[in-house]
Structure formats: structure tokens, C-alpha cells
């Protein structure tokens, strides 16, 4: 019987460069400019396993829809949830594209009607980084098809097997 060590998972994090190199320090002195702290998205080994997806209740990200999200057709996903439950399954290059401000098209499956799930894909469905480091999911067609309203609760999780975001309306508030 072979003794195999469990695979370590990788996760994305930021590396902050607080201290300038000698060359950077000399350039700042020469140009009479202060050193600017930079950050770079990197991948590190995570000593903890990735969050397990409970198939009975897989919705790792739950939130109430706001009026602003309905008007804009963009779902705001907080920084922590995006890094912990979505980006940990992406390649470093794809995560860097998102971090650098590019819209990253993704596939979204609406599982609200479990018998007939609907797939949203293409340029109209994408993740984008916001100015405050949160992220938004552009999904106007999804909002319209589901008839989402202010206060409705939705659930999301990233399915690493299909590389897709899974979506479900968990509860709706009818006016």
C-alpha cells in the first residue's frame, strides 16, 4: 500500500511590496518621488482544504438583491466571497485578468427551476472588479428572466467540475 500525501490546495492572495529595492530607492531619490506600495496577485499553497460543497445546500454565497443591483443588472459579490469561493478554482492568469480590470466572461447556470436549468453565457455574462475591490456579475438577462425584486434572496457557488457559476433564487418577496 502506498503512502500518499493529500494534495494541497492553492489559493489566491495579494503580495504587498512595502520596501523598495535598492534600484527603486535610488530611482525615487533621483526623481524626487516617494516609493509607491504595490501589490501583486499570487498563488500560495493553502494548508486548509478548499471549502467543501455540500450538495444538499451548495449555496456558499447567499445575498439579498438590492434595488441598485436590479436597476444596473449587476450583482455585487463581496471581495472575500469572490476570492474564497470563486477565484480559488480559477487559473492564476484568469484571476490576474480580472484583477487588472478586464471583464471576464463566465458561464452561469440558473438552477431555480431544477428540472430545466438555463445556461447564460457569452459577452453579456461576465465578472468585473469594482473600484472598492468587490466584484460584479453582469447578468441583465438573468435578472429579467427570474423577475428578481428588491429583497429577493439568491444563492451562488462555483462548480469546479464545469467551471461555471451556479445561481438559484432561494426566496422571493412579492410586492
Q: Which residues contact residue 146 at a Cβ distance below 8 angstroms, ignoring those fewer than 6 apart?
A: 110, 112, 169
Write down the pLDDT at residue 118. 92
Q: Give one DSSP letter per residue of 45-79, joined into a string.
A: EESSPPPP--TTS---EEEEPPHHHHHHTEEEE-H
Residue 35: DSSP 8-state:
-
Mean pLDDT to the nearest integer, 59-65: 94
Give per-residue pLDDT as tens, 17-42: 899 899 999 998 999 999 899 888 88
Q: Between 75 and 123, name the one with better pLDDT.
A: 75
Q: Between 102 and 114, name the one with better pLDDT.
A: 102
Determine if residue 137 is left, alpha or beta; phi over 0 gives left, psi from -120 to 50 gives alpha, anything else beta: beta
Give per-residue pLDDT as tens, 2-13: 454 455 678 888
Mean pLDDT to the nearest integer, 129-139: 93
Query: Does the pLDDT at position 54 exceed 70?
Result: yes
Write down the pLDDT at residue 2. 46
**Cell digits of residue 59:** 449555496
Write down the pLDDT at residue 103. 93
Write down the pLDDT at residue 75. 95
Sheet holding 104-105, edge to edge: 74-77, 135-138, 126-129, 104-105
Backbone angles phi, psi at 105, to 5 degrees: -65, 135
Q: Which residues contact residue 90 at a Cβ distance below 8 angstroms, ignoring those fewer than 6 apart?
A: 12, 98
Query: Does the pLDDT at position 116 exceed 60?
Result: yes
Mean pLDDT to the nearest integer, 133-155: 91
Percent of the chain at pLDDT exceeding 70: 95
Categorize the per-residue pLDDT at 64 as very low, low, confident or very high, splitting at 50, 70 and 90.
Answer: very high
Residue ranges of domains in the chain, CATH in brackets: 10-45 (no CATH), 61-171 (2.40.330.10)
Categorize the per-residue pLDDT at 46 as very low, low, confident or very high, splitting at 50, 70 and 90.
Answer: confident
Write down the pLDDT at residue 56. 81
Amino acid at each position: 500500500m502506498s503512502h500518499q500525501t493529500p494534495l494541497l490546495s492553492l489559493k489566491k492572495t495579494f503580495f504587498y511590496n512595502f520596501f523598495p529595492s535598492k534600484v527603486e530607492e535610488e530611482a525615487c531619490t533621483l526623481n524626487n518621488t516617494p516609493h509607491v506600495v504595490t501589490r501583486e496577485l499570487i498563488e500560495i499553497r493553502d494548508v486548509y482544504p478548499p471549502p467543501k460543497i455540500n450538495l444538499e445546500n451548495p449555496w456558499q454565497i447567499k445575498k439579498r438583491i438590492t434595488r441598485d443591483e436590479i436597476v444596473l443588472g449587476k450583482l455585487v459579490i463581496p471581495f472575500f466571497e469572490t476570492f474564497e469561493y470563486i477565484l480559488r478554482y480559477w487559473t492564476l492568469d484568469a484571476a490576474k485578468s480580472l484583477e487588472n480590470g478586464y471583464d471576464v466572461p463566465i458561464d452561469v447556470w440558473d438552477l431555480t427551476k431544477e428540472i430545466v436549468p438555463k445556461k447564460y453565457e457569452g459577452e453579456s455574462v461576465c465578472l468585473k472588479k469594482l473600484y472598492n475591490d468587490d466584484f460584479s456579475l453582469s447578468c441583465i438577462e438573468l435578472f429579467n428572466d427570474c423577475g428578481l425584486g428588491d429583497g429577493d434572496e439568491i444563492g451562488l457557488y462555483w462548480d469546479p467540475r464545469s467551471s461555471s457559476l451556479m445561481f438559484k433564487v432561494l426566496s422571493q418577496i412579492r410586492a
